[in-house]
């Protein structure tokens, strides 16, 4: 202790003995508890360094005596999650579509799985949530080209449409018109009739003339006498008012389809996904709003 330590009269505390220009420094040591807490954090830090990965070394880093690793922790967590998933996946694998839909737990799991694959793979063509687009059918509607029951949806997803898979849906809409088959006036009347099926024709006389053309050319064989469609051949319901090939000028779209039919194609998804995933997709698509 410095020799010129003295008691300060104002605070009653001792000074350190240091003095600058008549200003004396009070001796105010840190509280004991504070010092102990401080020291114990140092001890804690040293312990932490030893048991956990911490210090860089010449050949990598100090791995810690516990052998803990952020990645192995993650791997463990994933394994746990996977094990839980496997239980559901194997249930889905062995259950019928109807059973999956009846079991709320299984249904939720299947919908989540189906939704995520749909987003990655199907939404590019069918739109987010299956709203559809030009030439890509809306899956959220209750009009179906190839059928809207769980099993029909699953079959369509499994084998696809107009592709090389031996079980793929196949059908051809023949081209009418061109050559001497149907002239422009007849095509126009026919299109008016097709529009009238969904009450969107403005020309009743033309629609009436078109009806005969519709009948004489066997359009009804695929599209149905009242335009109700036919899922056996993937023929759209012309009376639905919902167009696969929707355009600003719907009459022109219809005429174009009759003269030069477009025919949509979709891959067989069983060539890419296993049966469990396809079941999840079928359940998801069925849930979008139009499932039968
Ligand atoms: C490359 C574009 C494309 C992709 C990707 C695609 N589809 Fe399709 N899908 C189509 C087309 C085109 C049709 C209509 C075929 C036709 O005209 O008959 C169709 C038809 C369907 C149908 C039948 C609809 C009906 O009205 O009967 C279902 C169900 C379906 N797709 C589900 C899926 C699912 C599930 C996926 C994802 C695994 C998927 N699609 C991915 C193009 C696609
Ligand atoms: C052999 C069966 C068959 C016959 C006959 C047929 N169609 Fe089609 N039609 C189809 C199929 C299948 C499609 C769907 C094409 C696709 O999926 O891309 C279609 C699509 C259409 C579309 C497009 C509908 C939409 O939603 O955009 C129109 C319009 C149409 N047909 C009108 C006719 C008319 C009019 C006739 C008679 C002159 C006719 N079709 C005869 C099978 C047929």
Whether the predicted pLDDT of 140 surpasses 70: yes
Ligand 2 atom closest to Cα of 237? 26
In our burial notation (b when 16+ CB lie closer than 10 A, e otherwise), range 166-189 reads eebbeeebeebbeeeebeeebbbb
Ligand 1: residue of 110, 146, 161 to mutate (most ligand atoms within 8 A of CB) is 161
Start-to-end Cα distance in the chain: 95
Nearest residue CA, atom 14 of ligand 2?
A: 235
**Which one, of 235, 122, 256, 124, lies nearest residue 170 by Cα?**
235
Q: Does the beta carbon of 197 sit less than 6 angstroms from any atom of ligand 2?
A: no
Residue 8 pLDDT: 87
CA dist., res. 236 & res. 231, Å (int): 8
Ligand 1: residue of 125, 229, 289 to mutate (most ligand atoms within 8 A of CB) is 125
Centre a 10 Å sphere on the Cβ of residue 17 and count the other Cβ atoms it contains.
14
Determine phi and psi for 233, rounding to 5 degrees: -120, 10
Ligand 2 atom closest to Cα of 176? 38
140 Cα: distance to centroid of ligand 2 (angstroms): 21
Inter-residue contact 190 to 210 (CB < 8 Å): yes
Under the banding of pLDDT at 50, 70 and 90, the label for residue 178 is: low
- Mean residue pLDDT of the chain comes to 93
Reported as a single tens digit per residue, the pLDDT across 243-262 is 999 999 999 999 999 999 99
Q: Does the beta carbon of 257 sit less than 6 angstroms from any atom of ligand 2?
A: yes
Residue 181 pLDDT: 79
Ligand in nearest proximity to the CA of 196: 2
Under the banding of pLDDT at 50, 70 and 90, the label for residue 177 is: low
Q: Give the count of alpha carbons within 13 A of 177, CB side only.
A: 21
**Which one, of 96, 120, 140, lies nearest residue 269 by Cα?**
120
Q: Give the count of alpha carbons within 13 A of 122, CB side only.
A: 28
């Amino acid at each position: 202790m410095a020799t010129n330590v003295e008691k300060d009269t104002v605070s009653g505390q001792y000074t350190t003995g240091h003095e600058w220009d008549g200003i004396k420094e009070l001796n105010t040591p840190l509280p004991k508890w504070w010092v102990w807490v401080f020291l114990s954090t140092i001890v804690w830090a040293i312990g932490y360094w030893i048991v956990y990965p911490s210090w860089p070394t010449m050949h990598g880093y100090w791995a810690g005596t516990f052998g803990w690793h952020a990645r192995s922790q993650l791997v463990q967590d994933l394994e746990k999650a996977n094990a839980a998933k496997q239980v559901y996946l194997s249930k889905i694998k062995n259950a019928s579509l109807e059973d999956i839909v009846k079991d709320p737990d299984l249904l939720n799991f299947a919908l989540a799985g189906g939704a995520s694959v749909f987003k990655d793979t199907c939404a590019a063509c069918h739109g987010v949530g299956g709203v559809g687009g030009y030439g890509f059918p809306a899956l959220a509607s209750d009009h179906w080209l190839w059928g809207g029951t769980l099993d029909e949806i699953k079959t369509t997803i499994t084998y696809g449409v107009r592709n090389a898979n031996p079980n793929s849906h196949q059908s051809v809409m023949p081209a009418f018109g061109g050559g001497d088959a149907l002239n422009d006036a007849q095509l126009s009347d026919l299109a008016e009739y097709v529009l009238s099926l969904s009450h969107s024709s403005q020309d009743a006389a033309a629609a009436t003339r078109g009806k005969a053309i519709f009948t004489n050319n066997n359009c009804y064989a695929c599209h149905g006498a009242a335009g109700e469609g036919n899922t056996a051949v993937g023929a759209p319901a012309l009376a639905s008012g919902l167009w696969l090939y929707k355009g600003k000028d719907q009459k022109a779209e219809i005429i174009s389809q009759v003269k030069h039919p477009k025919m949509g194609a979709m891959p067989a998804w069983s060539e890419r996904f296993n049966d469990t995933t396809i079941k999840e997709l079928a359940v998801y698509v069925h849930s979008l709003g139009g499932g039968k």
